[in-house]
A and B are shown apart, each in its own frame.
Chain A
Amino acid sequence: MSSIPHDLVVGGVPHGEHAHHPKGIMRWITTTNHKDIGTMYLWFSFTMFLVGGVMALTIRSELFQPGLQIVNPEFFNSMTTLHGLIMIFGALMPGAVGFANWLIPMQIGAPDMAFARMNNWSFWLLPPAAFMLLLSLFVPGGASSGGWTMYPPLTIQQGMGMDLTIFAIHIMGASSIMGSINIITTILNLRAPGMTLMKLPLFCWAWLITAYLLIAVMPVLAGAVTMLLTDRHFGTSFFNAAGGGDPVLFQHVFWFFGHPEVYIIILPAFGIISEIIPTFSRKPLFGYASMVYALAAIAILSFLVWAHHMFTTGMPSASILFYMYATMLIAVPTGVKVFNWLATMWKGSITLEAPMLFALGFLFLFVIGGFTGLILAIQPIDVQFQDTYYVVAHFHYVMVAGTLFAFFGGTYYWLPKWTGHMYNEKLADWHFWLSFVFFNVAFFPMHFLGLAGMPRRVPDYAQQFTDWNMVSTIGAFGFGLSQLVFLTAVVKCIRGGAPAPAKPWDGATTLEWTLPSPAPYHSFETPPTVK
């Protein structure tokens, strides 16, 4: 059972509003309240999304036409590097943690996160790290330009910008690990009486597994960049071929982190979608247990496939076959999830409010991203597509249409609970359709460009790629501007709007909907009992 019917919940009604907290800026700096911290994570994520978005538009502006028009090649490469790092570590991961902070305590009937002070610290590590990343643009030698993957030997030779990038990753990694420890401890120890693990909302399950993944892989990334740092400054040769090190080893270690990272980003999105679809289909989630097993299977398989990112580095045939088939195997639990979402909708009383629109958009586009991933899993094909725009198209269908669409859907879904107001449905619908159309205008042509052989991370290109690049750039600007509609919808909802009832969605069944809207500053001081 994925959710708890209201009539089975006893107690848990908060003791009114006990908002004895500092006012003004000190409230936000010193807060240990999970809702405040969740809000800060979400705004930080959105700010970084805009910063990374401006970098994306710089890239797309340069690529509007062949030749070099706007930026020099070094700066272009810095833009692609920072765009990737900021979107992954600054926008998508903190966004997911924002949802976790807001929702996990309310969904499990806990008053707050297990380590409230550490929660504050986890967040406040992020702005200095982001500042360091951006500061690297202004130091001698410029920002890191070796791609978000930071492959040596290029990154061993770069200037001070690379050191700032390494420190920023260390800090963001520490923040992620602290956040994960907090989430696991909260879910395991602070669940309301009666809420067994197999009664957890799917969002909490998704985050529990994500947090375990984070604890496994963030230290690996931290170790890898630490070795990079010592290679740069302390005379070691872990990856420095000149001293007997092996640069390909870095790729192995990086992707040992990097591939599970993809699932770290997408699993919370799966959790959000698994909340939205049953609500707007007015049916319980189909196959709850199989959804949990599929999440676990995806997480474990994600550690067995990293070398599919390195098919062109040369490896024994047996390894190629293993990584190829293991990668394809991930399609099975992912397919189970897609099947269950479709089965949940089957014969449901579906309504198409904005959260459901984004969930359907997610489903449609994520499946496209998944299928292109399957194509890339086939080594003979991957060898042709390696480092082309086909790969860029593939991972943007997963990361943007997957995770970001789920975040948008989740935001509209829980905005009434967060703000106490209903959002403007018309604006939200416009936001969805503009995003959906412009996303495809921006990224679908990249498949054609990749198939035709256009390489990524290059600021100039041959004449024959011009048309689709122009289309893609127009789509990118359209997609970027569409997000202003989102900002408007959210700000309008915060400032006012129709009052939201405790449970604005008929089909919603999880514990947070038993609280009034907006959720009181302190909720579930008395744990509810789940029968």
Chain B
Amino acid sequence: MANDPQRDARLRAANRRTGLVLLAIALLFFFGIIASRFIESEAVSIAVVGGAILLYLVVAIGRHLRK
């Protein structure tokens, strides 16, 4: 396949986008787990973090299963 600068640029942009989204999710969980400690009820704090992570997994993995 011949070098196609436009295609390469599109691919690099897509890679950056995917990478940044994943990095944002990782940072969200890092700060989220610390922030959740400031919620008074332990059950609620664990439910919030757990729910968020489950939702992420179901969406992230589930969307690929349909393809």
**Residues of chain A having any CB pair with chain B under 8 Å:** 11, 114-115, 177, 180-182, 184-185, 188-190, 196-198, 208-209, 212-213, 215-220, 222-224, 226-227, 238, 246, 249, 252-253, 256, 292-293, 296, 299-300, 303-304, 526-527
Contact = CB atoms under 8 A, between A and B. Distances in A.
A181 B25 CA distance: 10
A339 B33 CA distance: 38
Nearest to A319: B43
A227 B37 contact: yes
Interface in B33-53: 33-34, 37, 42, 46, 49-50, 53
Contacts of B15: 114-115, 185, 189
Interface in B14-67: 14-15, 18-19, 22-23, 25-34, 37, 42, 46, 49-50, 53-54, 56-58, 60-62, 64-65, 67
A303 B33 contact: no
A253 B14 CA distance: 34
A189 B57 contact: no
Nearest to A300: B57
Contact of A300 (B22, B54, B64): B54
A249 B39 CA distance: 13
A185 B19 contact: yes
A219 B30 contact: yes
Closest 4 CB pairs of A and B: A223-B33, A219-B30, A219-B29, A185-B18
A208 B64 contact: yes
A322 to B, nearest CB: 12
B1 interface: yes
A304 B23 CA distance: 24
B45 to A, nearest CB: 9
Contact of A296 (B27, B29, B42, B65): B65
Given A185-B22, A216-B56, A219-B29, A196 B61 contact: no
Given A181-B23, A215-B22, A219-B27, A253 B64 contact: no
Contacts of A238: 37
A208 to B, nearest CB: 7
B26 A226 contact: no
A213 B57 CA distance: 7
Nearest to A118: B19
B49 A177 contact: no
A73 B20 CA distance: 47
A115 B22 CA distance: 13
B55 to A, nearest CB: 10
Contacts of B37: 227, 238, 249
Contacts of A219: 26-30, 33
B46 to A, nearest CB: 6
B33 A224 contact: yes
Contacts of B53: 216-217, 220, 303
Best-surrounded residue of A190, A217, A218, A223 (most CB of chain B within 10 A): A223
B33 to A, nearest CB: 4
Nearest to A11: B1
A216 B57 contact: yes
A155 B39 CA distance: 24
Contacts of A223: 29-34
A189 B32 CA distance: 28
B11 A189 contact: yes
Nearest to B57: A300
Nearest to B65: A296
Given A181-B22, A196-B67, 7 more contacts: A114-B19, A181-B26, A184-B22, A185-B19, A219-B33, A292-B65, A300-B54
